[in-house]
Structure 1
Amino acid sequence: SGALLASEEIVHSYPHCWRCKHPIIFRATPQWFCSVDAFKDEACAACDEVRWVPGWGIDRMKSMIRERADWCISRQRRWGLPIPVVYCKDCGKPVVTDETIAAISEMFGKEGSNAWFDKDPADFLPAGMTCPHCGGKSGFEKETDTLDGWFDSGSTHYASMKRDQNFWPADMYLEGLDQYRGWFQSSLLTAVGAFGNGAPFKECVTHGWTVDGEGKAMHKSLGNGVDPADIFNKYGADILRLWAASADYHADVRCSDAIFKQLSQNYLKFRNTARYCLGNLDGFDPNNLVAPADMLELDRWAVTRLNALIEKCAQAYNDYEFLVVTHAVNDFCVVELSNFYLDIIKDRLYCDETDGLARRSAQTALYLILDTITKIMAPILCFTGDEIWLAMPHKAGDDGRNVLFNDMNGVFADYALSADEMAKWEKIIEVRDAVNGALETARAEKKIGKS
């Protein structure tokens, strides 16, 4: 009639299935709910007893619990753990009592949860049972919904620890960022709801996602995934482990061939340092170390620097900061050892009397260094650590089968130099660096040959 002022088509976002990409149709259906409101305060209080890594985890978890509506624990699917509820054929009301749960639990214990789908309620409910609501005797029908998968996984702390292993809670839960909404939270809620005595974990550690070299999420459909098998066929499994331990895993972690090439250089620095030590420990007896008072001061300097590495890595492992461990060991191999200490002791190791004090003093330091860094890196470079361990000499009491059967070393306090002595060596290193710089300039200008 000409009365329409204007018209236009609007394209707006609409939920689609992430698998088949088709639009989703919403339907209202009856569901089962857990009332989280009933114990929200207790759940939040339980968070205060947990060590969260990183520290912001506690605020994230508490805010999600406080904002949470009741938990829908039912799913309309053909597989999963059935919800153990029956309905009266007369009044249609749900029936779940101590007696019905005990009967169903006994059946599950004997035959597994699949028995629920195979049997009629009359086969497993108490004989002659009547409806507690209306007294009806017409019988019962089974619930067809299954439990939310998060309820399943959130209950594992009971099945895997409390019931069968007789310990609870777990020392640590480790999962991705999304599990504050999932496994972390469902475990916490089922524990507090069922037992009322805190979280099922003492510590909660969170990691990010693995993404490609450009920071994009990996998907099969995009073809930007990296197959771990390709990495360890090309670089070895230890490089893949070194990559995982060298990244700040609290955020998203990038994965690309260029990154593995760089890490292979770090790996070679560690491996070559170990080879240097092994080559110069041939015939050395670790049960006959040079006493601290008899060692050359430079060798004690090296052990003092090793002590600092031991303390730093012990704290980093305790904090699950694996990248601090890998970076600290790499820096130690490059800066303290390769650029300074190992370069200076070559003459002593190669030219001095085989069993002379000067050579054995350096060997004592090399043994302590090799023994220590092999144990520190063994949880990360497990194959390399084992290879070194089987090739190196051992002292009485070592378990020679595998490095991981041995404790990490504590600091070697008897070998440590004083603060004043270390300050003197820092000044010597300063002078040496300045002199080396001048020599390099002279060599570049063809004024001298070898430095």
Structure 2
Amino acid sequence: MSEKRDYRDTVFLPKTDFPMKAGLPAKEPGILARWEDEGLYRQLREARSGREKFILHDGPPYANGNIHIGHALNKVLKDAVVRTQTLLGKDAPYVPGWDCHGLPIEWKIEEAYRKKKKNKDEVPPAEFRQECREYAAEWVAVQSEQFKRLGVMGEWDKPYLTMAPEAEAGIVAELLKFAENDMLYRGAKPVMWSPVEKTALAEAEVEYEDIVSTQIDVAFEIVESPIEELVGAHAVIWTTTPWTIPVNQALAYGPEVDYAILHIHTQPDGEVAKTAHVSHVLIAEALIDQFAARIGLADSHYEIVWRGKGSDLAGTKVRHPMHHLGGFFAEPRPMLAGDFVTTDAGTGIVHMAPDHGEDDFELCKANGITPKFVVEDDGRYREDWGWLPRTDERSGSVINPKFNAPDGPICSDLKEAGALLSASADYQHSYPHSWRSKAKVIFRCTPQWFVPMDKPLGTFDYAVADAGLLGGAVALGTQADKTATLRETAMAAIDETRFVPAKGKNRIGSMVEGRPDWVLSRQRAWGVPITLFVNRESGEYLVDKAVNARIVEAIRQDGVDAWSQENAAQLLGPDYAVEDFEMVTDILDVWFDSGSTHAFVLESDNWPDLQSPADLYLEGSDQHRGWFQSSLLESCATRGRAPYRQVLTHGFTMAADGRKMSKSLGNTIDPLKVMEEYGADIIRLWALSVDYSEDHRIGPEILKGVADQYRKLRNTFRYMLGALGEFSEDERVGVAEMPELERYVVTLLGELDTKLRTHVANYDFDAYTRALLDFMNEDLSAFFFDIRKDRLYCDAPGSMERRAYRTVLDTLFNALIRYAAPVLVFTAEEVWSTRHPANDPNGGGSVHLLEWPEIPAADADASRWEALRSLRERVMEAIEPLRREKVIRSGLEAEVEVPASAVPEGFDTGDLATLFITGTVTLGDGDAVTVTKSDDAKCGRCWRLLPEVDEDGDLCNRCEDVVAKMDAAE
């Protein structure tokens, strides 16, 4: 018997140098270096010059520390937006930026001073600011490289920095527009204040944490009232901030609340109340039971001796529990009607400290009662204050729990005065904390600079085409309604803006609708100064366009150090005497800095590729109260419109178990380490696969799953590269001439194209990535490629069927590599350059210079193929048990009978055997799919079991013809 021929050298197996193992951590830096050497970003700008623009304006991260996983998600999302818009053929430049001023950097420099036993107050301000500037510059450089390592493409050689003199001048120019339009005022209002950082805080700089506080009931003796029964009784207040009692100036009641006087005729059981010299108390009737429980008062211990409405209390006065200290404390306190008083908790009577509460301030102001400014910037009482001054050995910071404790100095003194009815350190509630120091904040009344929310914007002419103090000609907007307030203008702008997800509109809308006046001032050193001269006699700030122009130009030349007393005369000019004016020493809220970026970036000649308003702002959902809002207010006040057309928000990245990431819990994921282990493309694939609109998760197992998805996608491209070896245009087949399966796949590609365009328009990148992966894994690898690999390997190279398959592969490749490029920026470049190396006369260059593909039209009836694929799944399920039991080794050894009724019209049994990758297929009358082992012999080349093969190792008719032609050619 003669030896059978080995036909392996006659099979056309895919060949490619593209490796299965990615090796991304080692490979990606080299690709980055090549992009930089070739000036890829500048090439893109030139290629898209003159096209429709799409401007994503970068919200500046803070220049302080290495990037974290939240930074990575944010920057990858932005990069995906820019790249997909670029792929659509638009001119989409990206200018990154950094927020450089502010407290965290100042703190770092102060920490270094403390280690060196150095006093910040003894360092010249300019020298201190220079150290802050150098610190920020160092982290800008570090973060810039880290963002580039993620594959984020942009103007990295020319970012915007809020600490650049040009930017600082731009910020000052915007501030002075407010001043010129009378949209600034200095007033004393309670603002959120951090005693640790010694500065006012904006709402965006505050986070709320659950804490346990001391709650106390305090009795204020009624000394005067139109109602005789009230005199000698005690009005009882309840508070969770004992430290505010030393600044009490009034009590508030609800005009419509029902009140009662309780006659306490038996000693209470509560330890504190036993020491109180109180027998008649005034409280809201609805809160008697809660009050009695707090002080240990049983029903039999008291009786109601008077009832009345809150409105009956008008004209009533009380005296402070510490009235024996004299001075401020000896003055009677009025009881005032307050609409904010409720019966939800407490006693229905609220103590008023206008220094430390917004409602308190407004009610007292309306009644001619002014703040006393007794708590200093470190949270301690003034030295001259009559109760617990900072010189008292019992004095302490008002945020110190021990200071407010039931046995602390406040409660101890009230107890000794016989006014403390209850005190317990068990009240759980949410309380604002500084997000930087994590310390509790207080409401503290201090002189600050504000932007009014409810004053008509008035005389500012938005139609002016002059960019004003910064020079240049930039259209700022259209003429706005001059009678509208900033709040009304901002609310109208919100209505005109697209929010993704849509719920963002209600979120920012409710914040703007209810927000107080914007507090602009901070009492620190590292920031942009509030460049105002205030007349010492009138208290009014100077409005003079010539002076303002000199201020802006000086800061453009020398940065914020130009705002100094030494330069006052030069800035004021010859028309004003220096001694008549005070230079404001406060700095601007850093949210005003970043809120002005649209002005000094989008409208600047420094970045001529940009334009205003931006098409998109994209940040975390916390920026509804931060950058989105400060930018909105700044632009509405100076331009009468929002600085953006669309706002996209993403959620926060949580640990794999859904908990917040924390170093103490050891559940943080460092993107730098992930890139070292997996590569940047894995982070990108994760970031663009999660539902970023909500909080989302990451962890080691999640990353392993992403890496598995990546390997499948990589191997799909690897297969296409090998299968397309030496493909030429001479081989191409028109779609109309192709077999129906090929036309069906082109139809599917067209459907995918439509889906992806929709996902790009909606910034729905998880749906975009999922659709791409599903198509490549399910429609191609598991279906089309699986079926057609036999044709690729065994058909004659010149056959129309094989040429049609390779034509579709080429169409798929050219589309899919473009679709994948915004997601897997490095891998897409590697794949493209493998097929089109730099010296390729038919291609070369970067994949990222390509535009969205044009998909040829195809007329396949997709519904017929969906039915056939469903039947194919049933066949594969029926084959699997026989394969698992080793009855057969593969579907090629199977004879399959399928229900004739399940086969769409136009498919014969040969077609079905090809599509199911089985030996033979027959049609049956029943509903079941049956599988038996074939008795046919196996072709020695294609391995199919067919009746036409005489014995194992012989060739089927097709293979015999192909081999004969190959032999003849040799």
TM-score, with structure 2 as normaliser: 0.43
Q: Among residues 784, 790, 795, which one is paired with 1:352 in the alignment? A: 795
Provide, for residues 311-370 of structure 1, a one-character-per-residue CA deviation record: whole Å limited to 9, x for no partner. Answer: 111111111111111111111122111221111111111111123222111101111111
Distance (Å, rounded) in 1 between the aligned partners of 2:539 and 2:879: 94
Residue 286 of structure 1 deviates from its aligned partner by: 4.3
Provide, for residues 99-151 of structure 1, a one-character-per-residue CA deviation record: whole Å limited to 9, x for no partner. Answer: 43222112112222221136341232111415xxxxxx733231111111111
SS at match of 1:52: strand
**How do 1:113-132 residues align onto structure 2 when only pairs under 5 Å count?**
113-117=560-564, 119-130=566-577
**Does 1:270 find its partner at 2:713?**
yes
Cα distance change on mapping 1:437 and 1:363 into 2, 3 Å = same
**Does 1:184 find its partner at 2:628?**
yes
Q: Among residues 510, 528, 540, which one is paired with 1:81 in the alignment? A: 528
**Does 1:283 find its partner at 2:726?**
yes
Cα distance change on mapping 1:176 and 1:19 into 2, 3 Å = closer
**How do 1:36-115 residues align onto structure 2 when only pairs under 5 Å count?**
36-37=453-454, 38-90=485-537, 93-115=540-562
Cα distance change on mapping 1:381 and 1:31 into 2, 3 Å = same
Provide, for residues 259-291 of structure 1, a one-character-per-residue CA deviation record: whole Å limited to 9, x for no partner. Answer: 110111111111111111111111101475211
Provide, for residues 180-204 of structure 1, a one-character-per-residue CA deviation record: whole Å limited to 9, x for no partner. Answer: 11111111111111111x2111111
CA contact 2:536–2:582 (8 Å) conserved in 1: yes
Q: Among residues 417, 434, 444, which one is paired with 2:859 in the alignment? A: 417
Provide, for residues 168-222 of structure 1, a one-character-per-residue CA deviation record: whole Å limited to 9, x for no partner. Answer: 11111001101111111111111111111x2111111111111111222223454
CA RMSD, Structure 1 to Structure 2 (Å): 2.4
Residue 78 of structure 1 deviates from its aligned partner by: 1.3
Provide, for residues 229-288 of structure 1, a one-character-per-residue CA deviation record: whole Å limited to 9, x for no partner. Answer: 111111111000000000110111211011110111111111111111111111101475
**How do 1:100-249 residues align onto structure 2 when only pairs under 5 Å count?**
100-117=547-564, 119-130=566-577, 138-164=579-605, 165=608, 167-196=611-640, 198-249=641-692
Cα distance change on mapping 1:313 and 1:286 into 2, 3 Å = farther
Q: Which amino acid aligns with 1:9?
A: S
**Does 1:10 find its partner at 2:425?**
yes
Cα distance change on mapping 1:404 and 1:157 into 2, 3 Å = same
Residue 48 of structure 1 deviates from its aligned partner by: 2.4
**How do 1:417-436 residues align onto structure 2 when only pairs under 5 Å count?**
417-419=859-861, 422-436=862-876
Aligned to 1:305: 748
CA contact 1:209–1:251 (8 Å) conserved in 2: yes
Aligned to 2:763: 320
Cα distance change on mapping 1:23 and 1:330 into 2, 3 Å = closer
CA contact 1:172–1:201 (8 Å) conserved in 2: yes
Cα distance change on mapping 1:306 and 1:93 into 2, 3 Å = closer
Residue 385 of structure 1 deviates from its aligned partner by: 0.3
Cα distance change on mapping 1:59 and 1:177 into 2, 3 Å = same
SS at match of 2:756: helix
Higher percent of residues as strand: 2
SS at match of 1:9: strand
Q: Among residues 881, 884, 890, which one is paired with 1:441 in the alignment? A: 881
CA contact 2:529–2:560 (8 Å) conserved in 1: yes
**How do 1:399-418 residues align onto structure 2 when only pairs under 5 Å count?**
400-413=844-857, 416-418=858-860
Distance (Å, rounded) in 2 between the aligned partners of 1:32 and 1:207: 32
CA contact 1:74–1:147 (8 Å) conserved in 2: yes
Q: Among residues 815, 819, 833, which one is paired with 1:376 in the alignment? A: 819
Aligned to 1:134: none
Aligned to 1:28: 445
CA contact 1:121–1:141 (8 Å) conserved in 2: no
Aligned to 1:133: none
SS at match of 2:647: strand
Cα distance change on mapping 1:69 and 1:15 into 2, 3 Å = closer
SS at match of 1:114: helix
CA contact 2:743–2:859 (8 Å) conserved in 1: yes
Aligned to 2:50: none
CA contact 1:375–1:408 (8 Å) conserved in 2: yes
Structure whose alpha-carbon radius of gyration is higher: 2
SS at match of 2:717: helix
CA contact 2:661–2:667 (8 Å) conserved in 1: yes
CA contact 2:836–2:844 (8 Å) conserved in 1: no
Distance (Å, rounded) in 2 between the aligned partners of 1:73 and 1:117: 20
Aligned to 2:409: none
Cα distance change on mapping 1:241 and 1:443 into 2, 3 Å = same
Distance (Å, rounded) in 2 between the aligned partners of 1:381 and 1:297: 32
**Does 1:392 find its partner at 2:809?**
no
Q: Which amino acid aligns with 1:10?
A: A
Distance (Å, rounded) in 1 between the aligned partners of 2:842 and 2:516: 56
Aligned to 1:250: 693
Greater relative contact order (Cα < 8 A, sep 6+): 2
CA contact 2:747–2:860 (8 Å) conserved in 1: no
Residue 24 of structure 1 deviates from its aligned partner by: 4.4
Provide, for residues 75-102 of structure 1, a one-character-per-residue CA deviation record: whole Å limited to 9, x for no partner. Answer: 1111100001123345555334334322
Where structure 2 has 5 or more consecutive residues not aligned to the other structure, the ranges are: 1-265, 273-422, 455-484, 892-970
Cα distance change on mapping 1:27 and 1:48 into 2, 3 Å = closer
Aligned to 2:954: none
CA contact 2:682–2:707 (8 Å) conserved in 1: yes
SS at match of 2:618: strand
Distance (Å, rounded) in 2 between the aligned partners of 1:431 and 1:105: 75
SS at match of 2:579: coil
Identity level (%): 41
Higher percent of residues as helix: 1
SS at match of 2:638: helix
Distance (Å, rounded) in 1 between the aligned partners of 2:798 and 2:804: 10
Residue 445 of structure 1 deviates from its aligned partner by: 4.3
Where structure 1 has 5 or more consecutive residues not aligned to the other structure, the ranges are: 131-136
Q: Which amino acid aligns with 1:293?
A: A
Distance (Å, rounded) in 2 between the aligned partners of 1:175 and 1:199: 16
Residue 65 of structure 1 deviates from its aligned partner by: 1.3
SS at match of 1:138: helix
Distance (Å, rounded) in 1 between the aligned partners of 2:567 and 2:539: 17
Provide, for residues 362-388 of structure 1, a one-character-per-residue CA deviation record: whole Å limited to 9, x for no partner. Answer: 101111111111100101100010011
Distance (Å, rounded) in 1 between the aligned partners of 2:687 and 2:760: 14
Distance (Å, rounded) in 2 between the aligned partners of 1:392 and 1:314: 26
**Does 1:295 find its partner at 2:295?**
no
Structure 1 window deviating more from structure 2 (69-78 vs 106-115): it is: 106-115
TM-score, with structure 1 as normaliser: 0.90
Q: Which amino acid aligns with 1:433?
A: E
Q: Which amino acid aligns with 2:522?
A: R
Distance (Å, rounded) in 2 between the aligned partners of 1:218 and 1:286: 54
Cα distance change on mapping 1:116 and 1:186 into 2, 3 Å = same
SS at match of 1:30: strand
Cα distance change on mapping 1:81 and 1:435 into 2, 3 Å = same
Cα distance change on mapping 1:225 and 1:139 into 2, 3 Å = same
